[in-house]
Amino acid sequence: MTQSNITSPGLLELYGMMCRIRAFEDAAEEASRGGVAAFGQTAGTQANVRGPLHLSTGQEAVPAGVCAHLKPADYLTSTHRGHGHTLAKGADLERMMHELFGRSTGFCGGRGGSMHIADFSVGMLGANGVVAAGIPIAVGAAQSIRIRGLDAIAVTFFGDGAINRGPFAESLNWAAAFRLPILFVCEDNQWSATTKTGAMSAGAGAAARARAHGIAAEEVDGNDVVAVSETAREMIADIRAGRGPRLLHARTYRFKGHVSVDPAAYRDPAELEAALKNDPLAIAAEKLRAQGVTQTQIDAVMKAARDEVAAAVRSALAAPWPDAAAAWSEIQDTGAAQWQ
């Protein structure tokens, strides 16, 4: 690993993306619990974001650091915890909030909700509610890149729980066998739903499994956005140069429960307290101060992010609901009337 060349303007940009992700997740969490008072609206008794909402709070450095080196033509697949990946890939924050609120102006017309957001215009092929399911989709995208001779790569994000699923091993093998242009990113937040990952994962982890397939792998502190960015930059450069797939194992921590209404009572409070002291935003802010950026400038970045998100919430509350007739559009026609 080379010494970091990230100067304060570059680090401020990374910090800005992390702030946007944190602000979005905080707002989505409040909306899932029925509260919108913080955004200038009267709080209701019913949740504005319905259904499962998996937050990536505490993991912001991973998508920010990786996606900083991607182009619009590059493909990306995500997980059920994919808001940060979607934003970092360049998707519109306001339309994503509309989708969470189930409005017709969302990315999927309000149908997909949190776990199924996609924006093909920026190469975001979709979040996925099935653990490990996005990995082979990205491998397929990388195969298509190879066949069509495109100047692009594919990236797939997945959690530490996904490495115990069959699609992970199958995807590693296929990518290695055909030297596909793909970056595997294991976003290791140490928890598989409500179970400690270490209790049910044998071996040395994602990087070791990748190396067993002949794929070069690196492990990095996933809470240090500079370390993530620099490591991802080198790996992505190798992939673009035709040196085959790579795997980045980023160790981070999930600050929230499995879903937004999960109090995570199964977790040792001391473990969470220790993790909160290693907040990726605080780490980045300290690096910025060391480079001479003032606290006023740092605070302004977060304020801008929260203002942007607050405007998106107000916009989502005012956006139209889908027309009932839309329920019969964009669905598979089986040719039989019983579905009506």
Q: Which run of H or E residues covers position 179?
A: none
Tens-level pLDDT at each residue, the chain (340 residues): 444 556 667 999 999 999 999 999 999 999 888 765 555 555 455 678 877 789 999 999 999 999 999 999 999 999 999 999 999 999 999 999 999 999 999 998 988 888 899 999 999 999 998 999 999 999 999 999 999 999 999 999 999 999 999 999 999 999 999 999 999 999 998 878 878 887 788 788 899 999 999 999 999 999 999 999 999 999 999 999 999 999 999 999 999 988 888 888 888 899 889 989 999 999 999 999 999 999 999 999 999 999 999 999 999 999 999 998 888 777 776 666 555 5
State the pLDDT at residue 340.
Answer: 53
Q: Which tokens sit at 163? A: 């490495």
Among all chains, which residue has been given the structure tokens 């998508």? 63
Q: Which tokens sit at 181? A: 């242009």
Q: Which run of H or E residues covers position 145?
A: helix 134-148
Domains (ranges, CATH) in the chain? 8-41+48-319 (3.40.50.970)
State the pLDDT at residue 144.
Answer: 97
State the pLDDT at residue 3.
Answer: 45
CA distances in angstroms from 253 to 191, 208, 221, 249, 273, listed in the order given: 8, 20, 10, 13, 11
Q: Which tokens sit at 195? A: 């179970």
pTM of the entire predicted model: 0.91
Amino acid found at 134: G
Give residues with Cβ within 8 angstroms of 315, minimum separation 6: 94, 97, 98
* Cα 75–Cα 78–Cα 84 angle in degrees, nearest 5: 100
State the pLDDT at residue 334.
Answer: 62
Q: How far apart are CA 22 and CA 25, in angstroms?
A: 5
State the pLDDT at residue 338.
Answer: 58
State the pLDDT at residue 50.
Answer: 79
State the pLDDT at residue 336.
Answer: 61
Q: How far apart are CA 229 and CA 250, in angstroms?
A: 11
Express each pLDDT in 221-273 by its tens digit.
999 999 999 999 999 999 999 999 999 999 999 999 888 888 888 888 998 89
Contact between residue 77 and residue 156 where contact means Cβ atoms under 8 Å apart: yes
Q: Does residue 45 sit in helix, strand or coil? A: coil
